């Protein structure tokens, strides 16, 4: 789980890695015989009993720096990724984070550029709200409308969702599943673990080779097997 790729000198939420750090992390993956792909590609392979060499890479929020700083590094290592964007905040910034620098978000054209470069576009909701605190109307809009807007924008199906802040409850899971998404990403799903509440690991600027190795090994202990996936 990544967010922004750029200067991380002022980064109170630890959501930023530098392009140089991302480069070294992807080099680490490739040297271990692993390859970063979109979550859709990862899940498609795993349901066929394949893809043990694949790792899902996700970039949340849809920062504009994805195109300039992340995409060239991904391409250098023959990796792809899933970009979870906020169609209710096109061309805006991360106003939901009170501290730290304002980071610009991709415009509609920027999202299309990422999609054309082979990046999977998923929904992060419309505006980045905690879905467990949203009333039914807002929950439905964030989950359902964001998908419709993104499919219109990209001209392609949108099959993945990502819970803002990683916060999730059964009502949010049911809404996401009923909206027709094939999968959804969380962070630490606990008992909700399943295709619509997938666990992810935060990867940050401090994650050098030794830490990556430990995270990679320990990740399987944090999750229970997901039915239908291995
Ligand atoms: Zn987010």
Q: What is the mean pLDDT of residues 143-161?
A: 97
Give 137 Cα–ligand 1 centroid separation in angstroms.
20
Give 67 Cα–ligand 1 centroid separation in angstroms.
17
Q: What is the mean pLDDT of residues 198-217?
A: 89
Nearest to 126 by CA among 154, 159, 161, 82: 161
For β-strands 16-17 and 4-5, DSSP reports them as parallel
Give 95 Cα–ligand 1 centroid separation in angstroms.
11
| pTM recorded for the entire structure | 0.94
Contact 89, 129 (CB under 8 A): no
Does the pLDDT of residue 219 top 80, yes or no? no
- C-alpha 159/C-alpha 102 separation (Å) is 29
Give 22 Cα–ligand 1 centroid separation in angstroms.
19
The domains of the chain, with CATH numbers, are: 4-222 (3.20.20.370)
Give 202 Cα–ligand 1 centroid separation in angstroms.
12
Give 2 Cα–ligand 1 centroid separation in angstroms.
10
Contact 61, 93 (CB under 8 A): no
Q: Exposed (0-12), middle (13-18) or buried (19+): which is 93, by Cβ within 10 Å?
A: middle
Give 204 Cα–ligand 1 centroid separation in angstroms.
15
Nearest to 106 by CA among 122, 123, 127, 92: 92
Give 49 Cα–ligand 1 centroid separation in angstroms.
30
Contact 113, 67 (CB under 8 A): yes
- Could you tell me the pLDDT band of residue 230, with boundaries at 50, 70 and 90? very low
**H-assigned helices in the chain:** 19-31, 39-47, 65, 71-76, 108-116, 136-140, 146-154, 170-178, 209-222
- Could you tell me the pLDDT band of residue 216, with boundaries at 50, 70 and 90? confident
pLDDT of residue 100: 86
pLDDT tens for residues 153-204?
A: 999 999 999 999 999 999 999 999 999 999 999 998 888 999 999 999 999 9
pLDDT of residue 210: 82
- C-alpha 97/C-alpha 86 separation (Å) is 14
Give 164 Cα–ligand 1 centroid separation in angstroms.
5
pLDDT tens for residues 30-78?
A: 999 999 999 999 999 999 999 999 999 999 999 999 999 999 999 999 9
pLDDT tens for residues 68-123?
A: 999 999 999 999 999 999 999 999 999 999 898 999 999 999 999 999 999 999 99
């Amino acid at each position: 789980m990544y967010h922004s790729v750029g200067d991380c000198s002022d980064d109170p939420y630890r959501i930023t890695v530098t392009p140089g750090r991302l480069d070294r992390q992807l080099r680490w993956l490739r040297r271990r015989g692993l390859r970063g792909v979109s979550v859709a590609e990862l899940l498609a392979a795993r349901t066929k009993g394949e893809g043990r060499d694949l790792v899902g890479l996700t970039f949340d929020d849809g920062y504009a720096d994805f195109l300039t700083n992340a995409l060239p590094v991904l391409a250098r290592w023959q990796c792809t990724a899933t970009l979870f964007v906020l169609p209710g905040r096109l061309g805006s910034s991360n106003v939901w984070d009170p501290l730290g620098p304002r980071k610009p978000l991709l415009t509609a054209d920027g999202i299309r550029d990422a999609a054309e470069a082979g990046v999977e576009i998923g929904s992060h909701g419309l505006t980045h709200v905690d879905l467990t605190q949203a009333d039914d109307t807002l929950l439905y809009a964030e989950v359902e409308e964001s998908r419709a807007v993104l499919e219109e924008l990209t001209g392609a199906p949108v099959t993945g969702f990502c819970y803002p802040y990683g916060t999730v409850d059964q009502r949010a899971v049911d809404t996401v599943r009923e909206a027709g998404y094939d999968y959804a990403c969380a962070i630490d799903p606990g008992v909700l673990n399943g295709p619509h509440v997938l666990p992810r690991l935060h990867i940050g600027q401090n994650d050098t080779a030794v830490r990556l190795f430990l995270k990679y090994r320990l990740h399987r202990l944090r999750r229970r097997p997901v039915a239908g996936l291995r």
